[in-house]
Chain A
Amino acid sequence: MSDQARVLKFQIFRYNPLKKGDKPRMVTYEVAEAPGMTIFIALNEIRETQDPSLQFDFVCRAGICGSCAMVINGQPDLACRTLTANFADGEITLLPLPGFELIGDLSVNTGKFMRAMSERVESWIHDLHADEVNYDALEERMDPDVADEIYELERCVECGACVSACATKRMRPDFLSAVGFMRLARFALDPRDKRTDDEFYEIMGNDDGVFGCMTLLGCEDYCPKDLPHQTQIAYLRRKMALIR
C-alpha cells in the first residue's frame, strides 16, 4: 500500500431528534488512515477521540448481521466491510439510510421496519401440524437442491439497502419492498410452507405489493448479499398474475 497515513475527510450527517433545538447538518471530521481501515474502524475512532456523541450501529463488524447499512458517497452499503482505501480522493460522505425512522446521526430503526415486514408477510412456515411433529422420528426429507435454493433466498440480512434504494417505496410509503418480496419468494419455494397461491395473493396481490413494483431495480444494484431480486420479483409477479 502506497498511500501511507493519508488524512481522510469524513462529511457526516448529524442530527439528534431527541435533543432540543438540534438541527440537521453536515460535520467534517479528519482521520489519519491506517492500513486495512474500514468505515467501522474510522467511525469508532471519531467517536472515541473527537466526538463521543456520534451515533451509528455496528454489531458483527463482519458483513453478516445487516446492522450498519448507510449511504456512503451516495450509495447504500454495509459500512463495516467498506474499506476506506476504496475512495481514491479520501473524501467520504456518510448519510443515514433514507426510508427508515431516524434515531440519530447515522442510526436508523431498521429493526422496527423489519419486524413489521415479517408480520405482514407472515414470515414463518405455515403448517397446522408443525407443532405436532414427532421430533424423535426421522425428519421429513427434502431434496438437497431445494434446500440449497431456499438458502439462496434466505441470505438476506435485513440491512434495508434495497428499501432505501427503491424509487417505488419513495412514492408509496406502504410499498412492501424488495426485502418483503424476497421473503415471500423464499416461503413460496419452501415445500414445508403449506400456503396456497391465493393466500400469497392476499399478501402481495396489489399495488403496495408486487404489482406496484416499477422494476427500476435499485434493490438488485445495491443488495450487499447479491440476492436475485429481478428474477424473484418477476417470478412472483407472474405467479400472482395467473391467479386473478
Chain B
Amino acid sequence: MKVIYTDSLVIGGGLAGLRVAIASMQRGYDTIVLSLIPAKRSHSAAAQGGMQASLGACIKGDGDDEDVHFGDTVKGSDWGCDQDVARMFVNTAPKAIRQLSAWGVPWSRVRGGDREVIINGEKVTITEKHEAHGLITARDFGGTKKWRTCFTSDGTGHTMLYAMDNKAIQLGIPVHERKEALALIHEDGVCYGAIVRDLITGELIAYVAKATTIATGGYGRLYSVTTNAVISEGIGTAIALETGVATLGNMEAVQFHPTAIVPVGILTTEGCRGDGGLLLDKDGYRFMPDYEPEKKELASRDVVSRRMTEHMRKGKGVPSPYGDHLWLDITLLGRKHIEKNLREVKEICEYFLGIDPVKEYIPVRPTQHYSMGGVRTNATGESPTLKGLFSAGEAACWDMHGFNRLGGNSVAETVVAGMIVGEFVADYCGANPLNVSTGTIAHFLKKEEKKITDLLVRDFGENPFALKAEMQQIMMDKVGIFRNGPDLEKAVEELTVLNQRARHIALRNRISSSNPELVEAIRVPKMIKMAQCVAYGAMLRTESRGAHAREDFPERNDRDWLKRTLATWPDDSSDLPELSYEDLDVMKMEMPPGSRGYGVDNIIVHSDAEKRMAEIEEITKANSSADRFELQQLLNPTPIPEKFKGKNERIGRGYK
C-alpha cells in the first residue's frame, strides 16, 4: 500500500487550487497539489475576458467600489447567492488583483488622455485621467454598472495562471501531475485525503492529509456542447457526492454563454460585446435593444442567452447544417483593436471557422459555459457536513454566484476564494492532528482497487463512450436553457436508467496502466450521478431564477424558493440523489430581494422582504453618522480573515 502524507492536500491545479496551496504553504504547512494535467494547462488558462475588481481607475469605472460590485453580484445571482460570501468576495477582490500584479501578471494599464471606444454601436471619445496613468485598467462586461473587468490584452486567465503557477514553483510546492483523485478517505464525518490513480502507471496511491481541498473546476462536459475543456467533467465534485456525507449545492444552476461558435462550442469572450460588438439576426438586424432596451447586448448572460433563443424560435436565426445560429458582429471595432485585445478570438475564427472577424460576422449560439453548483461549503470554504473537506473555485458552491454568475466574477472568485479559504485551510491544519487509522486508509484503497479489477475482468457489458454520449445528449435536449416539467421528468427517468447501465461497463482494452478507456469507465458513472443531481434539482425547482428558466414556471418565486438545493448520494446502490433545501435568511440580507430590471417583473415576493427593507432603513437612520464601512458592518458582518480586512485605496478617492 503506497501512502503519501501531507498537511494540506489540494485536488486541482487551476487558479483556485494553486492559490489555496500557496496560502497553506506560506503558513508553513506541507502542501501537495494533484492535477490531471500540468497545472498551467488547467482550464483557467482559457479565460480571455477578464477579472472583476472594483479598482475604479479607468474613467468609466469612476465611482466604483465594493458596494457597487456587491449590488451587481447579488442582482446577477438573482438573489440566490450567499450575501456574506459575496461581501467577503467584493471586499477582497481589489487585494487579490494587486497581489497578482506584484506576482507578475502584466495587467493592461490606463493610458492617460483621449481614446476612442465603441459604445452602443457608436464611436465615442473618452478621456482617461492623467493621474490614473499606469494603474490597472478595466473593460465593460455584462450585468455591471461600471467598467470593472480588469484584463491582460486577450489573455487574462493565461497570465493569471502562469503567474500563480510560477509563484507555486517559487515556493517549491510539488504538483503531482497526471494524477486523478477517485475517492475521498473519510471516517465519522471527517475527511482525511483521497485515493488517487496515477494516470501513467495506473498505480493507486493514498494521499493522507489533515485538510483536503477540492478545486477541480466545473462540470460542463455533462453537456455534449460546452465551452469547457474536455477535462471539465466534474469528477472532483462527484467524489465529494459519493462520500454520502458531503453535500452539493444548487447543481441545477448551469449557465449558458451567449456567444460560443457554431458548431464546436469554442467561446468567443464577452469582451467582444463589452468592447462594443453587436448581436445580429438573419436579416442583419440588431435585435437585443428590442428585448432589453437598457442593457442591450450587455444584459446579464442568462438574460442574453434566453433572448437569443427566443429570437431564434421566432424564426430569426440563421439556418445552418448544425441548426440555427445568430451573428456576432465585431467588425465595427476595427482591425487594430481586434488584433490586440481580441486576438485570441481572431485566431479561433481563423483556425476553426476559416473566417476573418475583422471583415466577417461570427456564427454564435448560447452554449453551456459555467457551473454555479458544486461542493457546498460554508463561508470559510469548509463542507458543513464533512469536516476537513474544503472546496474553492468553480468546483465549489461557496455561493457568491447564486443562480447566475457575472462575467469576470469567476476567475476573480478563484483567486479570492483561494486567498480566503486558504487561510481557513491553514487554520484547520494548525488546529487538527492527523488521526486516521491505517485500517481506514486500506479500506478505501481496497474499495477502489476492487472497482478497477471488476472492470478489467468483465467480459461483456456497456461501452463507456456510448453511455457518456447518451447522457450528454439527454442533458442537451432536456436540461438546457429553457426547461419544462415533462422534459425534465423524462431526463430524470432516462438518466436513472443510464445510472443502472453504468454498473455494467466492460472494456475492450483491459490493462491497468495508462488506458483512456479505463479512465472513461471510471468517470462515466460519476458523471451520470452528477447529471442526475442537475436534472432532478431542475425538475423539483418549480420557479425561474437566474440561469434556471422554467417555461411552465416563469416567475421567480421568492415565497417558496428562496432556498438553496442540497444534494447527497445516500449509498452506492441508490438510483437517485436525495434533495433537501436550505433557506436563505432574508432578515440577514444586506440587500433584500428586489427586481433585476430585465423584462417583465413577475416576482412572487417573500414575506420578509419588506420587513427587512424597513429594518435596514431604520438601522441606516439610527446610524446616520456611520460611514459606508460601519453601516455595512452593522448590516452584514462577515468572517473575513484578519489580514484581508483593510480598506482598499482608489485613485482620487483614497481609502473612502
Contact = CB atoms under 8 A, between A and B. Distances in A.
A4 to B, nearest CB: 11
A79 to B, nearest CB: 12
The residue in A65, A123, A143 that gathers the most chain B C-beta atoms within 10 A of its C-beta is: A65
Interface residues of A, number: 67
A63 B230 CA distance: 13
Contacts of A138: 135, 649-651
A151 B106 contact: yes
Contacts of B104: 124-125, 190, 192-193
A148 interface: yes
Nearest to B47: A64
A239 B533 CA distance: 59
A142 B100 CA distance: 14
A185 to B, nearest CB: 13
A38 interface: yes
Given A52-B508, A136-B646, A141-B109, A103 B514 contact: yes
Closest 5 CB pairs of A and B: A111-B38, A141-B134, A52-B517, A136-B646, A150-B106
Given A82-B351, A103-B200, 20 more contacts: A18-B200, A36-B263, A52-B517, A53-B509, A59-B37, A59-B41, A62-B348, A62-B352, A65-B45, A67-B38, A110-B38, A111-B38, A111-B177, A123-B169, A137-B98, A137-B649, A138-B649, A139-B135, A154-B159, A158-B38
A18 B134 contact: no
A9 interface: no
Nearest to B351: A81
13 contacts: A19-B513, A38-B264, A52-B516, A58-B230, A64-B46, A112-B177, A114-B38, A114-B40, A124-B170, A136-B649, A138-B649, A140-B101, A151-B153
Given A104-B514, A125-B104, A142 B109 contact: yes
A61 B162 CA distance: 19
Contacts of A53: 509, 511, 515-517
B503 interface: no
Contacts of A130: 102-103
Interface residues of B, number: 80
Given A52-B509, A62-B348, A65-B229, A18 B514 contact: yes
Contacts of B136: 139
Centre residue among B38, B43, B465 by max chain A CB count within 10 A: B38
Given A47-B516, A59-B41, A135 B321 contact: no
Contacts of A127: 102
B162 A154 contact: yes
Contacts of A19: 511, 513
Contact of B46 (A55, A60, A83, A148): A60
A59 B230 CA distance: 5
Contacts of B496: none
Nearest to A118: B169
Interface string A66-83: 110000000000000111
B108 A147 contact: yes
Contacts of B165: 118
B502 to A, nearest CB: 16
A115 B35 CA distance: 14
Contact of A136 (B95, B101, B229, B266): B95
Nearest to A65: B41
Nearest to B159: A154
Interface in B102-122: 102-104, 106-111
Given A18-B514, A60-B46, A150-B106, A139 B158 contact: no
Contacts of A93: none
Contacts of A131: 26
Contacts of A92: none
B175 interface: yes
A127 B104 CA distance: 11
A24 interface: no
A190 B107 CA distance: 12
Nearest to B103: A125
B41 A66 contact: yes
B6 interface: no
Interface string B151-174: 011010011001001110110000
A4 B354 CA distance: 17
A138 B650 CA distance: 6
B60 interface: no
A63 B347 contact: yes
Nearest to B201: A18
A115 B38 contact: yes
A59 B221 CA distance: 12
B46 A65 contact: yes
A67 B352 contact: no
A133 interface: yes
B348 A63 contact: yes
Given A36-B263, A52-B517, A148-B108, A133 B508 contact: no
B506 to A, nearest CB: 11
B97 to A, nearest CB: 8
A56 to B, nearest CB: 8
Nearest to B644: A135
Nearest to A64: B46
Max chain A Cβ within 10 angstroms of own Cβ: one of B40, B155, B321: B40
B648 interface: yes
A156 to B, nearest CB: 9
A35 B266 CA distance: 16
A124 B169 contact: yes
A118 B169 CA distance: 8
B38 A144 contact: no
Contact of A147 (B95, B109, B651): B109
Given A61-B229, A62-B266, A52 B99 contact: no
A119 interface: yes
